Amino acid sequence: MHARTVAPSFRPVRAVLLVLAMLAAVVAVALPAAGPARAAVPDRWGFAFLDNPTPPAGYVPDPTRQWGSWPSPASNPVKVDQLAVGSYLVHFPFIAGPGGIAHATAVGRTGNWCQIKGWSTAGTGQDVAVNCYRPGGAPDNTLFTVLYTTSSGTPSPAGGSYGYTFSDISGAVLAQYNSAGAVNTVSHGSTGIWKAWLPGLGLSTAAGNIEVTAVDAVQGARCKVADWAPAASGQTVVVSCFDAAGAPYDTRWTLSYSLKRALHGPAFPPKSFGYLWFNGGVPAATNFNSSGATNTLAGSVPFTITLPGVAVPSDTAHATAYGPGPGWCGLALPWARSAGTVKLYTICFNAAGSPVSAPFLTAYTSAF
């Protein structure tokens, strides 16, 4: 009698539990689609290294140096089309959407530089146009790294901070992100000079990394970090831009700032990233390695930056010049990996395009 009365009483409970379990499974699947904007940065991103300066149509660049946030990046690679001498269109699949920023860095010893022409959605993908030039301003076929990233929401606490700005010539902000939830602003000074304000980010002393890229569809342009004033309330960065002849020049530009975060915004994952600022010395908090090791700097033309414990393909790297004057910086060679260690070869040039020892900021990240 007892068995007959107790067992039936459990049937409805088991049914309810089954329904609840099914609902929980549905919620567990549904929540991540809405969650990343609140819990992680960025929303969409991709990077690549063009390892062939004269690629055939639909060229797939080095698969160990490209990745992105779309489904199955290994099966859906980045592709590049060359439009003209020194002009390229990079196709990132399945990450179409508004906003965001892009960076490009030339790879080579000849003094060539690369800049962003623009970016736009193309069906379900995001296309980034990159133009490259030789010293003097003539378009030239060039190896380069390229990165696109866009973020929204406030990330969950994970240490560090991140922000970016896409500025018009006037200082109007065309796209921006700030992980503290604040609003970045830009003011225009004299020709080729802007002051960017990133409130709530960083520390009162120099800490983190900055990357800057010119955005110009008309002619060759170069942009750099002219000055950096850290404060507990936020980061002030002076951006200066020049034309191909080295004269101050008004153009659009992108800037990204990261502290204990990868240069496209996230942190842990990826578990493998780092950055370094050389300004005659290396301020301690601008020398970061996510493995806990210490990056080292050697040489000068080019510099060799050794980052132990973080070499994990697929990966990318960028560099930006620092200080007054029209000089610029890039990567002399593709980065090298060996036994978990990555070496970056940052090289800088004076206004005439001759290699020189000069201050720079550089950053490396794996996708993982």
Tens of pLDDT, residue by residue over 264-306, are 999 999 999 999 999 999 999 999 999 999 999 999 999 999 9
Residue 111 binned pLDDT confidence (cut-offs 50, 70, 90): very high
Ramachandran angles phi, psi of 135, nearest 5°: -55, 135
Within the chain, how many helices (H) and strands (E) appear? 2, 26
pTM to 2 decimal places: 0.89
Q: Note the residue count of the chain.
A: 368
Give CA 223 to chain center in angstroms.
16
Residue 209, exposed/middle/buried by CB under 10 A (0-12, 13-18, 19+)?
A: buried
Give the Cα separation of 122 and 95 in Å (integer): 10
Q: What is the DSSP string of 261-300?
A: S-TTS--SSS--EEEEEESSS--GGG-EETTS---EEEES
> What residue spans of 324-363 are helical by DSSP H?
none
Give the Cα separation of 93 and 104 in Å (integer): 18
pLDDT at res. 56: 98
**pLDDT higher than threshold 60 for residue 353:** yes
Tens of pLDDT, residue by residue over 135-173, are 999 999 999 999 999 999 988 666 799 999 999 999 999
Least confident of 40-44, 230-234, 260-264, 272-276: 40-44
Average pLDDT score over the chain: 90
Q: What is the DSSP letter of 283?
A: -
pLDDT at res. 157: 65
Give the Cα separation of 274 and 306 in Å (integer): 10
pLDDT at res. 159: 78
Tens of pLDDT, residue by residue over 6-39, are 333 323 333 333 333 333 332 232 323 333 333 3
Tens of pLDDT, residue by residue over 54-71, are 999 999 999 999 999 999
Nearest to 295 by CA among 312, 317, 277, 321: 277
Nearest to 133 by CA among 106, 161, 166: 106
CB of 310 closer than 8 Å to CB of 340: yes
What's the per-residue H, E or C state across 106-152?
A: EECCCCCEEEEEEEEEECCEEEEEEEEECCCCCECCCEEEEEEEECC
Give CA 308 to chain center in angstroms.
20
Q: Judging by DSSP bridges, how do beta strands 273-278 and 113-122 pair with one another?
A: unpaired
Element housing 344 (H / E): strand 341-349
